[in-house]
Amino acid sequence: MHLIATHVNDSMAELRTKLVADSAQPGRAMDPYFYRSHLVHELELEHLIFKSWIYALHASEIPETGDYQLLEIGEDALIVVRCEDGSIRAMHNICRHRGARVCEQQTGNRKTFVCPYHGWVYELDGSLKAARETHVMPDFDSTQHGLKSVRCVDYMGLVFVNCDPDAGDFLGPLENIREPLGAYDLANAKVAHRHTYRIDANWKLVLENYLECYHCATSHRAYAKLHTFKDLYEKSAPIVEAMLARSDEVTGVDGMSKHYTKTYNDAESFGACVHTMRYGLYDGFVTGSQDGQPVAPLMGKIKDYDGGAGDYQMGPLSFMLNYPDHCVLYRFLPRSLTATDAEVVWFVRGDAVEGADYNVDEVTWLWHHTTLEDEYIIMRNSMGVNSRFFDPGPYHPEFEATLKHFVAWYRKTLLANCPPATD
């Protein structure tokens, strides 16, 4: 773990003062305080992370009754499980007696969840099945002691969770990207590979890096060779506009070229960000591979390569970059003040056969390579940001526009939930 010098005299009064000052400079990067404060981190978890929609897993990863995976966020863990009725549910991995975790392995299959401490037994849906010797407790009501449930939705095989019981609807906003996202038939896709990259840096630095492509030309040579996104739009416009003009016809998907964005402060409800756009690849390249050439069969309903890639956001922390022959999903989760899990999932067509139709190393090469490059630059960014001498500079108006939207949402949310100073 990368250690930093934190604010030992931190207080809510300082937090509010920093927020007010930072909000007064919307065109500049955030003060280093927000990457070093434990108070800030706790406020983020409570009011941003655990109230947002977050990608959990693909439905195909828990196909049978009792199959489950753990989703770890901060110091907490959620159980995402396939229940007896075929539905997927999520719940907190916390026994309702004394708080022990009832599930320890990251993935597996269970008929019930049994607390290893005092033996309380829970059904797959989280309801309490048995609690030893509670017959001597006349007021004990087993129906009031099930595992705490978590909001859970399945959209085209992508399963999202939200720990806020009052969270707004997410399926409705997602319907706005049905046409382009549906082209990939993700409900019937397969996970070709997934990997978690533990990055020893604050989660905001990892997310901020993803939200801008100002660094792409200098830090990601393999990516920049293929993707027009690394250029100002005034340079890439002819290629992108030609691709958009042919996209629906070439792919055979009406709406493939759709552009829709309601994220962060503009989202339909808190943490329900939804975005899609299609951007171009340079001429001669058709997919996100080492040489820009096909690495797997065409996904879902797609008939041919249009020279484009679909860019998606679903929630504040989950993103996809979808090529005609494979899809790449990114999810960023804070694990501590100085550690972040960047989960990358590669999808291919559901009936594609590994070794015959695709090679995992070829499918994953570009974004594995790019993520390792990101880790390198994020770590150096972290070292500089955590210096007491760092003075935040201005955001780029185009390359860092999405990053500015995130920071505006971040500052607004924390300011609205920062308790008044008591010292």
pLDDT of 418 > 70? The answer is yes
List % helix, strand, coil for the chain (3-state, nearest 5): 35, 25, 40
- The tens digit of pLDDT for each residue in 133-179 reads 888 899 988 888 999 999 999 999 999 999 999 999 999 999 999 99
Alpha-carbon distance of 83 to 66, in angstroms, equals: 6
Alpha-carbon distance of 87 to 374, in angstroms, equals: 37
Query: Which residue reads 């770590």 in tokens?
Result: 379
Alpha-carbon distance of 331 to 196, in angstroms, equals: 9
CB atoms within 10 A of CB 14: 17
Residue 207 structure tokens:
């997310």
H/E stretch holding 16 reads helix 12-23
Do 338 and 3 form a contact (C-beta atoms < 8 A)? Answer: yes
- The tens digit of pLDDT for each residue in 293-334 reads 999 999 999 999 999 999 999 999 999 999 999 999 999 999
Please say whether the structural domain 1-52+171-423 has been given the CATH code 3.90.380.10.
yes
Q: What is the pLDDT of residue 309?
A: 98
Average pLDDT in the chain: 95
Residue 288 structure tokens:
């996100």
- The tens digit of pLDDT for each residue in 64-88 reads 999 999 999 999 999 999 999 999 9
Query: Confidence class of residue 2 from pLDDT cuts 50, 70 and 90?
Result: low
Alpha-carbon distance of 216 to 316, in angstroms, equals: 21
- The tens digit of pLDDT for each residue in 232-266 reads 999 999 999 999 999 999 999 999 999 999 999 99
Do 386 and 5 form a contact (C-beta atoms < 8 A)? Answer: yes
End-to-end CA distance of the chain: 32
pLDDT of 6 > 80? The answer is no
Do 184 and 329 form a contact (C-beta atoms < 8 A)? Answer: no
Phi and psi at 384, nearest 5°, equal -70, -45
Alpha-carbon distance of 406 to 30, in angstroms, equals: 11
Q: What is the pLDDT of residue 4?
A: 61
Q: What is the pLDDT of residue 422?
A: 59
Q: 3-state class of 121 per DSSP?
A: strand
Q: What is the mean pLDDT of residues 192-211?
A: 97
Distances (CA, A) of 246 to 42, 239, 278, 307: 48, 11, 12, 9
CB atoms within 10 A of CB 32: 19
Query: Which residue reads 């499980």 in tokens?
Result: 81
Q: What is the pLDDT of residue 408?
A: 96
Q: What is the pLDDT of residue 140?
A: 86
Question: Do the domains spanning 1-52+171-423 and 54-154 agree at the CATH topology level?
Answer: no
CB atoms within 10 A of CB 324: 29
User: Residue 402: how many CA atoms within 13 Å on its side-chain side?
Assistant: 23
Alpha-carbon distance of 88 to 94, in angstroms, equals: 18
Q: What is the pLDDT of residue 415?
A: 95
Residue 112 structure tokens:
């019930």
Q: What is the pLDDT of residue 419?
A: 79
Alpha-carbon distance of 275 to 204, in angstroms, equals: 20
Nearest to 18 by CA among 262, 7, 57, 107: 7
For the chain, give the percent of residues with pLDDT over 70.
97
Domain positions in the chain: 1-52+171-423, 54-154
For the chain, give the percent of residues with pLDDT over 90.
91
H/E stretch holding 161 reads strand 158-162
Residue 240 structure tokens:
């992108």
Q: Tell me, which fold does domain 54-154 have in CATH?
A: Rieske Iron-sulfur Protein (2.102.10)
Distances (CA, A) of 391 to 16, 18, 283, 398: 19, 14, 40, 21
Alpha-carbon distance of 332 to 276, in angstroms, equals: 18
Kindly state the DSSP code that residue 187 receives in the 8-state scheme. Answer: G
- The tens digit of pLDDT for each residue in 96-123 reads 999 999 999 999 999 999 999 989 999 9
pTM: 0.95
Q: Where are the beta strands (DSSP E) in 291-375?
A: 308-314, 318-323, 326-336, 339-348
Query: Which residue reads 């808190």 in tokens?
Result: 270
